Structure 1
Amino acid sequence: MTDLVGAARAFAEDRHRDQRRKDAGASPYVTHVAEVAALTEGFGGGVVEIAAAWLHDTVEDCPPTSHDELAAAFGAEVAAIVGALTDDKSLPKAERKRMQVVNAPSKSSGAALVKICDKISNCRAVAETPPVTWSVARRLAYLDWSVEVVTVLPPHHPAARAHFDGVIRAARARIAVEADHSVQ
């Protein structure tokens, strides 16, 4: 692990330290960014992309973390990828989701890779360890929206895209089985 990636990991672990996922076990949020970083590395991401994967949710979810702070600590390239992946929290949730689709085609190769890996991690979690309050319909709607986002990303990273497609198929199948069992 390079110094940049190690520093990004330590920063993310610190900033996300008290955050929990919305699953039944309230798992530590940092497990998500760790998975995104591992996927990014596994699909050929370089040091900049892996560092950005560790940091991708810090500006959005860990105030007062800022783009300028990330640029000063990790460089302009890392900060640019994180910036490209950061939703504007001042917008309503539906608008933020719409903007992810609108902005996806203009993502850099690095931002596209981290975004695909983020969606792989989130879609797997929605299938395997979903937020406790999410209905089957909401889980399926999340998968559909994720497909919409990934579909319009620039056509880079075919292996990551193929893996995403497999995760979506498996997630839909698992949710369908759960829905069938809950009806019986």
Structure 2
Amino acid sequence: MSLLSNPSTLSQLLETAHFAALAHGQQRRKSPSQPAYIQHPLHVASLLAAPESSLHPHPPVEILQAAILHDTVEDTDVTEEDLRRVFGPVVTRIVLECSDDKALSKEARKQAQIDSAPHKSDEAKHVKLADKLSNLRDLMSSEGRPSGWSVKRIQEYFVWSKRVTDSCIHVNPGIGAQLDEIYRQGTFEVEGKTYKCHPDYQ
């Protein structure tokens, strides 16, 4: 049964998208056109539901909801209690697994993602993989990447992302294959010059 053929599931997803859109309402992405932030979590969910994902054609609704909500606790005023009240314990647990501890420094948060990735639930690993795939695709495009990022910073993000996703790709070989192609062959352009996304991976 497809998501669209199940009115209850469709209603859940639309309600989740509306909740996330309100939570992220004033936030913009850092790329040159500064699109509404909500496009990112919606893209993460769409990647998990897409034919290339190993969850297709029956992605669990809780994983899609968590994907849509994955940045709410970390980056908005939404609390764990808010999520638990509206979406229940399963979705809340997945979102919390995907949320950085903002009390840590930026470098500590990045290391924590590497260290914690192998120990996350499979549901959280699905969201983490799609989140990274969405961000990496943005970085490959001058329209999608944050303004002012140097070549070094872009490549460091790809190298770091691979360290995070290496311990997750087994749960979703479809998304894992897309990530591996980017790490192996992906390129991006800066000021007319082309660079490898991951400079050391063959």
TM-score normalised over the length of structure 1? 0.91
Judged with a 3 Å threshold, the aligned counterparts in structure 2 of structure 1 residues 8 and 124 are, in CA distance, closer, same or farther, namely same
Match of 1:53 among 58, 67, 80: 67
SS, match of residue 71 in structure 1: helix
Query: Would you tell me which structure has more helix in proportion to its own residues?
Result: 1
Q: Aligned partners of 1:180 and 1:155: how far apart in 2?
A: 31
* One-letter amino acid of the structure 2 residue matched with residue 142 of structure 1: Y
1:12 paired residue number: 20
2:109 paired residue number: 96
Judged with a 3 Å threshold, the aligned counterparts in structure 2 of structure 1 residues 154 and 135 are, in CA distance, closer, same or farther, namely closer
2:176 paired residue number: 161
- Post-superposition Cα deviations, 1:72-118, rounded to whole Å, max 9, x if no partner, equal 10111100100000000010000000000000001111110110000
Aligned residues: 179
TM-score normalised over the length of structure 2? 0.83
Match of 1:125 among 138, 151, 166: 138
SS, match of residue 171 in structure 2: coil
Q: Aligned partners of 1:178 and 1:148: how far apart in 2?
A: 29
SS, match of residue 174 in structure 1: strand
Q: Aligned partners of 2:60 and 2:191: how far apart in 1?
A: 38
Q: Which runs of 5+ in 2 are unaligned?
A: 196-202
1:69 paired residue number: 82
Identity %: 35
Q: Is the 8 A contact 1:123 1:168 kept in 2?
A: no
Match of 1:142 among 157, 170, 187: 157
- Stretches of 4+ aligned residues off by more than 3 angstroms: 167-171, 175-181
1:84 paired residue number: 97
- Post-superposition Cα deviations, 1:155-179, rounded to whole Å, max 9, x if no partner, equal 21111110122233454x2247944
* One-letter amino acid of the structure 2 residue matched with residue 166 of structure 1: E
Q: Aligned partners of 2:148 and 2:190: how far apart in 1?
A: 17
Q: Aligned partners of 1:151 and 1:48: how far apart in 2?
A: 23
